[in-house]
Amino acid sequence: MQSDTADNVRAALGRRGRWGWGEVAFWLVAAATLVFLPERHLILNEIAIIGLFALSLDLILGYAGIVSLGHAAFFGLGAYAAGILAKNGIGDPLLGLGVAALAAAILGFVTSFLVLRGSDLTKLMVTLGVALVLGELANQMSWLTGGADGLQGITMGPILGLFEFDIFGTVAYAYSLVVTFVLFVIARRIVVSPYGLSLRSIRDNPLRARAVGIPVNRRLVAVYTLAAAYAGVAGALLAQTTQFVSLDVLAFHRSADVMLVLVIGGVGYLYGGLIGAVFFKVLQDVLSAWTPQYWQFWIGLILVLLVLAGRERLTDRVRALRPRSRRGLATDKARPLPTTTAREV
Amino acid sequence: MAAALETRGLVKRFGGLVATDNVTFRLEQGARHALIGPNGAGKTTFINLLTGVLAPTSGQILLEGQDITRLRPELRVQRGLARTFQINQLFPAMTPLETLGLAVSERMGGGHDWWRVIGSKREIVDEIVEIAERFRLTDVLDERTANLAYGKQRLLEIAVAFACRPRVLLLDEPAAGVPEAERHELLATVAALPRDVSVLLIEHDMDLVFSFADRISVLVNGGLFTEGSVEEVSTDPRVRAVYLGESVDE
């Protein structure tokens, strides 16, 4: 009896760490696009980068409940760090990623202390403010960043000394996809770890989290720093694969877009950012080809409808209220994506 | 021997209001001690001072002889002071299994472990099972907490605190709102708490106080009004006057 329960407990706890078929299929399809969609590699590269950026936002928003309207600060800093490094003759891509991650992590660590105090509204304003300040700094320091003209003259070396970037974007896409995959695997591991569980507990009920001995602030500082590093890597990937950085990387719309991407795909669910990035980018691509002047109108309309129709997906709390036995039926009815385990990942 | 938990001249003022008025209190090792008092007597403030949610205006708090007056709440938990809440404070989106796993792994110092899956350590699994059996949660371990019957949620509320392996456990109205049918189970588990855990019970329900406690302290207007054994307090005419009259004499 005792050992039965123990086995069940072990199985139930282990279940969250295991990969589902859907997940394997997702990454196989992603890998297959490297071979089967050669003419789409430029946009796929962007999708991978935005997906990673959204994944980074999900780490703080979906798993720790920290709202941010200025996540582009880290993306932009990473992009400039990698760009400036490469412009000054240090063109090794992986080194650039490392430097970008470090720079963004430091900024994340420092600003986390501002962000962690106060209400959600305070958080929105502080994150927004940090991004605006950074944007203006980049604008003013044109000797370093190129200012409004952008950072030009970036030349990248080959990845690992072996793979040169090509004009079709194939190597660039493969590079972004591999980096995104590696960081995804790490994030996936983190969210099912005791540390990840403590983040979810803080998001659900910080009062109780403290009462079981969790140092809430320290955990939030850690995840904010980590998410900043992820965003920095995403920015660096953009700088390296497009070999150009403009003030656009720090613009408000980047922070807003990544929030939209995450809302489209689903918050608190690591695939949400990736799937949202695919939808967002494809939608943008199709609409701007169809109606170049008014595509933003349509994308706005679609987003409003999507959020209204699927607003349950904004939080997984609604799902949480549904009894396990009935959840299966409900999934058949309305939900295209989530199964219980994948949703928690 | 040092008291399990002790306060010396504890005062908390909110502006002009004295919510805790010079409370000097001892919870002995292994005690089953109840703290009672009419509404507004300052019981909740007292608990919040003990757990570190509020900082006292003056006075001292000692846990097993060590001064914890300025210690952060989570560090008090790590030193062995855990509490339950009068209104459930659970993680609705998590299962009891995850909730207990969280508390156990935090206590074992694995809370910043970000690489392993939570169930990979044997001692964690064993302890989850032990706690689940003690609190009769084995059959609902894999349900969403939000879906549990209220009585089960109440049991989980205590189980989470117990999973912190406290030396001192503060139970804040554990039976509040539990329907009659589920009450027995709850009271039985509270009665079966191991004797090496010192328990301070904050309660309105006199049946529970009389069946569980061996000492009672009465808090009135923020100050300790009287303290004594169950017989002493229940027969004290002054206590009846301020508090017990309405609930015992009927």
The three-state DSSP-derived secondary structure of chain A is: CHHHHHHHHHHHHHHCCCCCHHHHHHHHHHHHHHHHCHHHHHHHHHHHHHHHHHHHHHHHHCCCCCCCCCCHHHHHHHHHHHHHHHHCCCCCHHHHHHHHHHHHHHHHHHHHHHHCCCCHHHHHHHHHHHHHHHHHHHHHCHHHHCHHHCECCCCCCCECCCECCCCCCHHHHHHHHHHHHHHHHHHHHHHHCHHHHHHHHHHHCHHHHHHCCCCHHHHHHHHHHHHHHHHHHHHHHHHHHHCCECHHHHCHHHHHHHHHHHHHHCCCCHHHHHHHHHHHHHHHHHHHHHCCCCHHHHHHHHHHHHHHHCHHHHCCHHHHHCCHHHHHHHHHHHCCCCCHHHHHC
CA distance A336 to A153: 45
Q: Do the Cβ atoms of B144 and A197 come within 8 Å? A: no
Q: Do the Cβ atoms of B93 and A216 come within 8 Å? A: no
CA distance A116 to A222: 11
CA distance B74 to B105: 14
Cα distance from A113 to chain B (closest Cα, Å)? Answer: 18
Q: Which one has a higher pLDDT value, A104 or B187?
A: A104
Compute the average pLDDT of residues B10-29: 91
Q: How confident is the model at residue B201 (pLDDT cuts 50, 70, 90)?
A: very high
Q: Which amino acid is at A106?
A: I
CA distance A132 to A121: 16
Facing residue for A197 by CB, picked from B51, B101, B147: B101
Q: Do the Cβ atoms of A211 and B144 come within 8 Å? A: no
Cα distance from B192 to chain A (closest Cα, Å)? Answer: 19
Residue A338, pLDDT above cutoff 60: no
Reported as a single tens digit per residue, the pLDDT across A23-33 is: 999 999 999 99
| 8 Å CB contact between A193 and A16 | no
CA distance A8 to A22: 24
Sign of CA dihedral B182, B187, B192, B196: positive
Residue of B nearest to A5 (CA): B129
Q: Do the Cβ atoms of A316 and B93 come within 8 Å? A: yes
The two counts, helices (H) then strands (E), for chain B are 10, 10
Domains, in order of start, for chain A: 40-294 (1.10.3470)
Chain A CB within 8 Å of residue B207 CB: no
Tokens of A168: 């079709």
Cα distance from B41 to chain A (closest Cα, Å)? Answer: 23
Closest C-alpha to A79, from A243, A324, A286, A304: A243
CA distance B147 to B141: 11
Closest C-alpha to B204, from B27, B32, B86, B88: B86
pLDDT of residue B50: 94
CA distance B79 to A340: 37
pLDDT of residue B197: 94
pLDDT of residue A86: 93
Compute the average pLDDT of residues B176-186: 85
State the virtual CA torsion across A26, B115, A101, A58 in degrees, nearest 10. Answer: 50
Q: Which of A63-72, A301-310, B61-70 has the lowest mean pLDDT?
A: A301-310
Query: Which residues numbered 123-142 in A keep a CB inside 8 Å of some CB on B?
Result: none
Q: Which amino acid is at A189?
A: R
Q: Do the Cβ atoms of A189 and B146 come within 8 Å? A: no
Q: Do the Cβ atoms of A204 and B97 come within 8 Å? A: no
Residue A129, pLDDT above cutoff 50: yes
ipTM of the shown complex: 0.87
Considering only CB atoms, which chain B residues are within 8 Å of A330? none
Compute the average pLDDT of residues B52-80: 92
CA distance A155 to A135: 24
Chain B CB within 8 Å of residue A189 CB: yes
Tokens of A303: 């987003």
Q: Do the Cβ atoms of B114 and A211 come within 8 Å? A: no
Q: Do the Cβ atoms of B163 and A205 come within 8 Å? A: no
Cα distance from B32 to chain A (closest Cα, Å)? Answer: 21
Residue A310, pLDDT above cutoff 80: no
Chain B CB within 8 Å of residue A58 CB: no
* DSSP-assigned beta bridge partners for residue B218: B36, B226
Q: How confident is the model at residue B233 (pLDDT cuts 50, 70, 90)?
A: confident
Q: Do the Cβ atoms of B99 and A198 come within 8 Å? A: no
The pairing of beta strand B198-202 with beta strand B168-172: parallel
* DSSP-assigned beta bridge partners for residue B32: B199
DSSP B241: I
Indicate the angle between helix axes B96-107 and B150-163, nearest 10 degrees. Answer: 10
Q: Kindly report the average pLDDT of chain A as a whole number.
A: 85
pLDDT of residue A229: 98
Considering only CB atoms, which chain A residues are within 8 Å of B74? 210, 213-216
Reported as a single tens digit per residue, the pLDDT across B88-139 is: 999 998 999 999 999 998 888 766 677 777 666 788 888 899 999 999 998 8
pLDDT of residue A341: 34
Burial class (CB in 10 A: 0-12, 13-18, 19+), A130: buried
Compute the average pLDDT of residues B207-226: 88
Chain B CB within 8 Å of residue A327 CB: no
Reported as a single tens digit per residue, the pLDDT across B202-212 is: 987 787 888 88
| 8 Å CB contact between B24 and B9 | yes
Q: Do the Cβ atoms of A197 and B161 come within 8 Å? A: no
DSSP B157: H
Tokens of B139: 């059959």
pLDDT of residue A3: 63
Cα distance from A277 to chain B (closest Cα, Å)? Answer: 26
Q: Do the Cβ atoms of B101 and A13 come within 8 Å? A: yes
Tokens of A218: 């320290």
Facing residue for A5 by CB, picked from B51, B112, B132: B132
pLDDT of residue A309: 72
Facing residue for A214 by CB, picked from B74, B129, B146: B74
Give the H/E segment covering residue B138.
none
Q: Do the Cβ atoms of B98 and A197 come within 8 Å? A: yes
DSSP B59: E
| 8 Å CB contact between B64 and B167 | yes
Q: What are the structural domain ranges in chain B?
A: 5-248
CB pairs under 8 A between A and B: 155
Facing residue for B93 by CB, picked from A9, A216, A317: A317
Reported as a single tens digit per residue, the pLDDT across A232-286 is: 999 999 999 999 999 999 999 999 999 989 988 888 889 999 999 999 999 888 8
Chain B CB within 8 Å of residue A112 CB: no
Q: How confident is the model at residue B248 (pLDDT cuts 50, 70, 90)?
A: very low
Residue B52, pLDDT above cutoff 80: yes
Contacts of B175 (CB under 8 A, 6+ apart): B154, B183, B186, B187, B190, B203, B205, B208
- Whole-structure pTM value: 0.86
Task: Please report, rounded to a whole number, the percentage of residues in chain A having pLDDT higher than 90.
Answer: 55
Query: Which residues numbered 206-235 in A keep a CB inside 8 Å of some CB on B?
Result: 207-208, 210-216, 219, 222
Q: How confident is the model at residue A303 (pLDDT cuts 50, 70, 90)?
A: confident
Compute the average pLDDT of residues B63-80: 92
Cα–Cα distances (Å) from B16 to A34, B10, B13, in that order, read 71, 16, 7
CA distance B68 to B199: 18
Q: Which fold has domain B5-248?
A: Rossmann fold (3.40.50)
Facing residue for A194 by CB, picked from B93, B118, B164: B118
Cα distance from B109 to chain A (closest Cα, Å)? Answer: 10
Q: How confident is the model at residue B164 (pLDDT cuts 50, 70, 90)?
A: very high
- The position carrying tokens 């990035």 is A277
Chain A CB within 8 Å of residue B204 CB: no
